Amino acid sequence: MKKNIQLENFIDIKSEVKEAIEKNKPVVALESTIITHGMPYPANIETAIEVEEVIRQNGAIPATIAIIDGRIKVGLSKEEIEYLAKLEHVVKASRRDLPVILAKKLHGATTVAGTMIIANMAGIKVFVTGGIGGVHRGAQETMDISADLQELAKTDVAVVCAGAKSILDIGLTLEYLETQGVPILGYQTERFPAFYTRDSGFAVDYQVNNPEEVANIIDVKWEMGLHGGVVIANPIPEAHALEQKLIDQAIESAIVEMEKSKISGKEVTPFLLAKLEEITVGKSLASNIELVKNNAEVGAAIAVAQASC
């Protein structure tokens, strides 16, 4: 058995990302399941490229994370994004999957948990996603709880998101995060957003009003040795939010169909998101794209503020 394995043995960091990390310039990590599992082609490619551009326009360097042929990539080229988007067999890569994907030289798209792990390895402290995973509805019987929550409890990365996906049990998700000591910061809001809508019906722990305030909080947390992530809940822009009644009805219909089809495990979220797009006649996809871009703008601003601390 080999010991003292070096990071370079299994991870490739794009040159501009590596230089930015070394010079303490702002870098924002991005996941890749949005490319392979979260959006249809070609919206997946277009959105991935647009989100990277939003980050650049706001003063930070984007680092989309994925695994190609068993090599972790921190920062993808446009060609690699297009290649990943067209692949048929890509494993959703969370903590449990990473060693298997690398050892078997497979392709992997990182979830929130997987992206947090790799971002932390590379020295990136701000990560932008659409929405975090959480406790699924009916988890009292199924025990279906996303690994994202455990990763937030232990990995030192700040996650900018539009709250938790509406398909989840948001109340139980927030209870779980509270138990794990993960701060929920509402970006210019007192309410926890629910992905497609601005208010889930639950409050955040604390409201924060600007990037500098967020940067100070996460720096203090980690300087104190309090390991684990921070959730920055950034509501979808009002102009792109869906009506609560519409999304609730769509989710209920999608869940009924999911149960009839006996969908479970990793297939649940992509199935439900695809059904929501179908039921809402594309409105959910349009909202998804806009909220990710909005999160990218806020995440870049936080990374810039943290780099200047």
Rounded Cα distance between 80 and 68, Å, is: 9
Active site residue 165: yes
Please identify which of the residues 31, 52, 151, 277 carries the catalytic annotation.
31
**How many CA atoms does the CB half-sphere of 66 hold within 13 Å?**
28
27 and 126 Cβ atoms separated by less than 8 Å: yes
Please identify which of the residues 14, 92, 165, 221 carries the catalytic annotation.
165
Rounded Cα distance between 68 and 106, Å, is: 7
Active site residue 14: no
Looking at the annotation, which residues are catalytic? Answer: 31, 165
